Structure 1
């Protein structure tokens, strides 16, 4: 029950019957070119743009900075770490890699 059915020659994909009933396999079109290289994009988040984005935020997270500035999370993460090392923001909580920061109040 339900075994493989024999298909007539010439009905298979990739085979062509030539004159005299001989079976020829169709040649596949293969593009022989240089492999495409991935473009390396350098996206930089400028400090003024980033500071402006976090200005009104109560809780600053990497995800919220990425969404507000329109960059990838890895870029936003490095930006927030830079701000933390400069003392602009400080870590106040978070867990499992999801850190929460707040802006440090400047004494004027």
Structure 2
């Protein structure tokens, strides 16, 4: 029932056929190290964040990110900072989708 077929000598991985038909081992390729990703430090100041949430009734991370034009992670850190300072408070939400309101 069809077993493993043997490959020709020149077709094996790691071998190279020379000009006279002789078989030589191929030089080993060096593994390249993956380049590290550049860390981008995008921040948003509180004044710009307050302008973004000024007219919102329900403040969510997604709505702040869209209004301010930043990533979700940046908007999330802004809201957590504002919550720690007492500017906004959590009023609802579940499973990571929290809803905040401004403290008057």
Band of TM-score, shorter chain = 0.7 to 0.9
For residues 2 and 50 of structure 2, the distance between their equivalents in structure 1, rounded to whole angstroms, comes to 69
For residues 56 and 86 of structure 2, the distance between their equivalents in structure 1, rounded to whole angstroms, comes to 17
For residues 68 and 25 of structure 2, the distance between their equivalents in structure 1, rounded to whole angstroms, comes to 55
For residues 6 and 35 of structure 2, the distance between their equivalents in structure 1, rounded to whole angstroms, comes to 42
Displacement after TM superposition at 1:38 (Å) = 3.7
Q: Residue 83 of structure 2 aligns to a residue in which SS?
A: helix
For residues 95 and 31 of structure 1, the distance between their equivalents in structure 2, rounded to whole angstroms, comes to 46
The alignment's C-alpha RMSD in Å is 2.6
Q: Find the counterpart in structure 1 of residue 25 from structure 2.
A: 25
Q: Find the counterpart in structure 2 of residue 10 from structure 1.
A: 10
Q: TM-score scaled to structure 2, two decimals?
A: 0.74
Q: Find the counterpart in structure 2 of residue 43 from structure 1.
A: 42
Gaps of 5+ in 1: none
Displacement after TM superposition at 1:16 (Å) = 1.2
